[in-house]
Structures are given as structure tokens and as C-alpha cells.
Amino acid sequence: MEQLQETPLCSSHHNLKALMAPFGGWDMPIQYEGIIAEHAWCRKNAALFDICHMGEFMFQGDFEADGLEDVFTFSIKTIPLGRSRYGFLLNDQGGIIDDLIVFRLAEDKAMIVVNAATADNDFAVISARLRGGSFSNITSSTGKLDIQGPLAREVLVTAFGEQIAEIPYFKFITLKILGCDAIISRTGYTGELGYEIFVPAEKTVELWDLLLKDQRVKPAGLGARDVLRLEVGYSLYGSDIDEGITPLEAGLAGFVNFDKPFVGREALLKQQVQGVSRQKVAFKVSGRRSPRHHYEIVSGQQQVGSVTSGVFSPMLACGIGIGFVATGAYPAGSPLTICHERVSMEATVCELPFFKGGSLRS
């Protein structure tokens, strides 16, 4: 059996009677009260997520001379101090090894936040591409909590002061929390106003308990998180993107800067010229049934692709999904059928995001 890693909050989750399950090699909470209830609380109030399974790396050195500038699909040196940037780590074929965020901590210092299941490989790949500098894996010493929802700002202002209210989207500040240095970043994965908080691992339980004392806050698991992220069209690594999928195929070319060198650039430039053989498509189901990963996508009488992510959306009151289909014309409103064995669902192509009413930029 797989030996699962545990976050510092494992006992806290069990005390809250959470349903636990493996995710990315970690024993993680899927739900507490229930996925629908936790989803609704996040959309209306403030939900607290344990995200300690994510990987964190620290780099210090000369971004250009030591090679970090050429590792990702975006520029590190042009990230303003105190801001962060999203993009990709690619292989030679342009496939996505991981999607990640880099935080510019100082002129010569950056923190890289990666997905849990890919963290070890990411560290090895990045290390091999660097020519110098100091590069370390700080995952085990770092705790990460996400507080998301329209009341998240008010909660953190109450707990830590008015300076929280001044943080714009994709910017972060450092301040003392519970006597230790912490990073509070206005980022998230839900489509709501929210913050990611990085603290020393040994302070994670204390911070979790402090925030849950506020009646505006409830814990939420990975089940609600998956519904929230799909409603706003965010990709999930391992389902919607992976090493066999390029950013161009995934509709994520906006996060690729072709004006700089990076591994996989030549492959993507070639794909730009030749065109992609498949493309991402989003759809709504005419009913409450959820499309599932690997269900077939049919146009007319022909299978044209398969589903990569699907859920029941409480905000739209129907099933929603995304998947890959053979390149072609699928304008909004086009009919599709989602099939699997004896299951058949009528669907309609739509534009992302599915849900447009979040508080993300409030």
C-alpha cells in the first residue's frame, strides 16, 4: 500500500470528522459537512482549506546568470517585487510538466509553488536546468492555508490588521503572524476573493484554529475546491493538463511568453505554425447529472474527444465539464452528447468561465 504523507493538520481533520482520501500522495480531507454545503459557504462567506500538500521551493541568486529566467514560460526578472506570476514548466516537446506560481520575494530571491504530486519531479527538473544559485525544497518546513470567499478580506483584517485590505490581486505582503514571518498572497483557486497564507509548518495548527474561531469561517475539503475551480474554468493538473498536453492545446497560450527562451519553446513555435490537432472545449449538460473523467464526447454520430473534468455545478444547477476534442468548429451553443456505456447526456458548448459572478476581484 502507498505510504501517504500527512499535513500538520491531519489530527485536526480527524477531530472534525472529515472524510479523508489519498490525493497526490497525501492523506487529504475531501469533505467535512458535505461538498455542496462547503461550496455554498465559500461562495457566500469564507472557507478555509488545508493546502499544506503543495510544494514550495526557494531560489536565491542571479535569475539570468544562474539560469532560472529560462526555466519557465514566463519571465522571472520582470515580476515586480511583492508580486507573483502563473505559468508552466515544460518538457522538450512543449508538454506541461507542471503549472505553478512564482513569488518575487527580493531582487535575487523567489519562491516557487508547485503541485503536490509533481513536486519531487519538478525539483529535480528545475535543479538540472540551473547553472548556479541556491535552490532548496522548503515544502516540509512550510505550512499553507487558503481562505477563500467574499468575506475573506474582512476575516483577515479582523485577525491581522487593515494592511490586508490593501493587497491587490496577485500581490502579497510579508508580516508577523503568531510571532513568525508569514506571506499573505491575494491568490487562490476558487474564483472568489481569497488569500493564500504561508507560515512555518509548526504554526499551521495554531493558525487554523485561530481562523476557525471566526464564525464567518468554516473548513472546506478538496471536493468543494474541485467544484469551485471548475465553475470558473481553472485547469487541474493530472486531469486537464499533463506532460502530454501543451499550453496551446489547453487554451492557455496567454501564459506563455514567446519573447524569451524556455525549454519547449521551439516545439510550441512549431505547433503554432502547424496547428493543434486537438483543442479544449467547455460544455453544460441539460440536467443535473455529472459528466465524468474519460466519458466520450460525441458530435453528431462521431466520437470527437473525451471529458477531462466534470461536476454538478450548484451555481448553474446542471452538470458542467471540460475536455479535449479533435480540432474543429465548436462555437458556443453547438450540441454535443456525453456518453459512457449506457449513460448518455445532451450537452451544449459554452464559453469559460461557467460561473461569472464570483468576488475574485472585489
Residues with Cβ < 8 Å from 270, sequence gap 6 or more? Answer: none
Beta-strand ranges (E) seen in 273-326 are 278-285, 296-299, 302-313, 318-326
Q: Which residues pair with 343 in a beta bridge?
A: 340
| Residues 308/322, Cβ–Cβ less than 8 Å | yes
Q: Which residues pair with 303 in a beta bridge?
A: 298
pLDDT, residue 362, reads 87
pLDDT tens sequence for the chain (362 residues):
669 999 999 999 999 999 999 999 999 999 999 999 999 999 999 999 999 999 999 999 999 999 999 999 999 999 999 999 999 999 999 999 999 999 999 999 999 999 999 999 999 999 999 999 999 999 999 999 999 999 999 999 999 999 999 999 999 999 999 999 999 999 999 999 999 999 999 999 999 999 999 999 999 999 999 999 999 999 999 999 999 999 999 999 999 999 999 999 999 999 999 999 999 999 999 999 999 999 999 999 999 999 999 999 999 999 999 999 999 989 999 999 999 999 999 999 999 999 999 999 88
Compute CA 315 distance to the chain's CA centroid, rounded to the nearest angstrom.
20
The residue extents of the domains of the chain are 5-54+140-231, 277-350
Cα distances from 341 to residues 287, 308, 344, in angstroms, run 18, 17, 8
Q: How far apart are CA 216 and CA 116, in angstroms?
A: 29
Q: Give the CATH H-level superfamily of domain 5-54+140-231.
A: Probable tRNA modification gtpase trme; domain 1 (3.30.1360.120)
3-class state of residue 126 by DSSP: helix
Neighbour-count burial of 246, counting CB atoms closer than 10 A to its CB (0-12 exposed, 13-18 middle, 19+ buried) = buried
| Residues 195/152, Cβ–Cβ less than 8 Å | yes
5-54+140-231 matches 277-350 in fold? no
**356 CB neighbour count, 10 Å cutoff:** 12
**117 CB neighbour count, 10 Å cutoff:** 17
| Residues 21/214, Cβ–Cβ less than 8 Å | no
Residue 156's nearest CA partner among 180, 181, 175, 179 is 175
End-to-end Cα, the chain, rounded Å:
45
Q: How far apart are CA 212 and CA 228, in angstroms?
A: 20
Identity of the residue numbered 54: M
| Residues 34/218, Cβ–Cβ less than 8 Å | no
Question: Quick one: DSSP state of residue 198?
Answer: E
Question: Quick one: DSSP state of residue 167?
Answer: P
Q: How far apart are CA 184 and CA 288, in angstroms?
A: 37
**Kind of pairing between the strands at 26-31 and 5-6:** parallel
| Residues 185/177, Cβ–Cβ less than 8 Å | no
Q: How far apart are CA 123 and CA 330, in angstroms?
A: 38
C-alpha cell at 249: 492545446
**353 CB neighbour count, 10 Å cutoff:** 16
pLDDT, residue 197, reads 98
Residue 177's nearest CA partner among 134, 206, 138 is 206
Q: How far apart are CA 308 and CA 282, in angstroms?
A: 10
Fold topology of 277-350: Elongation Factor Tu (Ef-tu); domain 3 (2.40.30)
Q: How far apart are CA 115 and CA 118, in angstroms?
A: 6
